[in-house]
């Protein structure tokens, strides 16, 4: 396949190097945002370059000037997402009040479900396929972080600061009970009505649930 022509926005005139860089950065971000919408809706296998180009308002050759394949776009999106995905758990503070720290973690995960639903579905779709593109991340970065925080939760239980609880299943339950609101938002709207925000009432319910679970 011949190399794609440069997008028209970069071919007209001779902009300064800084200007070209800004145009490239803007167009890459347009493509990534469009790809996030397509991947989160159709999954990796169901998404096509034609769909992404159409969503971005670009021709397919223009898209291929920036990314040489669907897989390259998907990898770029996942790379941007993964570090953000760890941040809420990283913030669990060993020096804080254990129950307050766990409740704050739950609220941060709910906020991510509200603010980044497409990213959540992108991550979920990758896991459902067996995590072929992020296996190393799951087995290393995420596993080590979960092990570290599970040990912290165990120390809190042993000190009697929270009720005895399996630390891994506690973390898994928070993932399940928060990311559900992003990954299954369509189902929630069908059940409760389209006029309802899927997260309406979620925080007080989960606060009550975990307060009862964690209270010594």
Any idea what the CATH number is for the domain that residue 188 is in?
1.10.357.10
Question: 208 and 137: one domain?
Answer: yes
- Domain limit, last residue, from 68, 95, 118: 68
Total domains in the fold of the chain: 2
In a domain, 2, yes or no: no
Digitized pLDDT (tens) for each residue of the chain, 216 residues in all: 333 444 444 433 333 444 458 888 899 999 999 999 999 989 899 999 999 999 999 999 999 999 999 999 999 999 888 888 899 999 999 999 999 999 999 999 999 999 999 999 999 999 998 999 899 999 999 999 999 999 999 999 999 999 999 999 999 999 999 999 999 999 999 999 999 899 999 999 999 999 999 999
Q: Which domain holds residue 20?
A: 8-68
Which pLDDT value is given to residue 82? 86
Question: 138 and 198: one domain?
Answer: yes
Which pLDDT value is given to residue 2? 38
Q: What is the pTM of this model?
A: 0.82
Question: 111 and 191: one domain?
Answer: yes
Which pLDDT value is given to residue 20? 56
Contact 44, 131 (CB under 8 A): no
- Domain limit, last residue, from 44, 68, 92: 68
Which pLDDT value is given to residue 52? 96
Which pLDDT value is given to residue 12? 35
Which pLDDT value is given to residue 7? 42
């Amino acid at each position: 396949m011949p190399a794609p022509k440069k997008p028209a926005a970069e071919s007209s005139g001779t902009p300064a190097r800084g200007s070209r860089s800004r145009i490239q950065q803007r167009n890459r971000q347009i493509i990534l945002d469009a790809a996030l919408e397509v991947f989160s809706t159709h999954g990796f296998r169901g998404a096509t370059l034609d769909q992404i180009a159409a969503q971005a308002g670009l021709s397919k050759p223009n898209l291929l000037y920036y990314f040489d394949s669907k897989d390259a776009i998907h990898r770029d999106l996942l790379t941007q997402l993964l570090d953000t995905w760890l941040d809420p758990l990283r913030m669990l503070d060993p020096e804080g009040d254990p129950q307050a720290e766990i409740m704050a973690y739950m609220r941060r995960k709910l906020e991510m479900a509200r603010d980044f639903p497409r990213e959540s579905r992108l991550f979920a779709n990758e896991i459902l396929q067996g995590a072929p593109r992020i296996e190393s991340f799951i087995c290393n970065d995420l596993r080590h972080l979960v092990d570290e925080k599970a040990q912290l939760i165990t120390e809190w239980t042993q000190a009697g600061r929270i009720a005895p609880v399996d630390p891994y299943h506690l973390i898994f339950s928070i993932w399940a009970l928060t990311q559900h609101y992003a990954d299954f938002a369509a189902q929630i709207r069908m059940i409760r009505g389209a006029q309802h925000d899927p997260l309406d009432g979620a925080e007080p319910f989960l606060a009550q649930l975990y307060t009862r679970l964690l209270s010594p």
